Amino acid sequence: MVYSTNPDFAFDTGNTTEETETLPKNRQRLRVTTERKNRGGKVVTVIKGFEGQENDLKELCKLLKTKCGVGGTVKDGDILIQGDWKPRIVDLLRAEGYADTK
């Protein structure tokens, strides 16, 4: 290990914390599925494939939760909505401009 005597030295760890820029809504490829596995028998609607910043993902999650009137969260880049809301969420996403949604 080498130490610097320069008072203006800034150590570079090589880690960049820049997030990817959010793609426009019409270029997003979102996939909506329902899961029951490892959830105690409860059904959860999962939205995968969002590419962009965490804040934009959270805003989309908030919109879907309020439109469906249920709870949900963002976890590991996916949106989890409580309950089986697949047809309604697909319609909501298409209405918001996410054209490539299945």
Count the helices and strands in the chain (H runs, E runs).
2, 5
Q: CB pairs under 8 A, 24+ apart, for 5-12?
A: none
What pLDDT is recorded for position 84? 94
What pLDDT is recorded for position 9? 74
Domains in the chain: ranges and CATH: 29-101 (3.30.780.10)
What pLDDT is recorded for position 48? 95
Query: What token pair was written down for 30?
Result: 């979102």
What pLDDT is recorded for position 71? 94
* Residue pLDDT tens, the chain, 102 long: 666 677 777 776 666 555 578 888 888 899 999 999 888 889 999 999 999 899 999 999 999 999 999 999 999 999 999 999 999 999 999 999 998 888
Q: Given the structure tokens 């469906």, which residue do they identify? A: 68
Angle at 32 between CA 29 and CA 36, to 5 degrees: 145
Strands 100-101 and 72-75: unpaired
Which residue type does 16 have? T
What pLDDT is recorded for position 90? 94
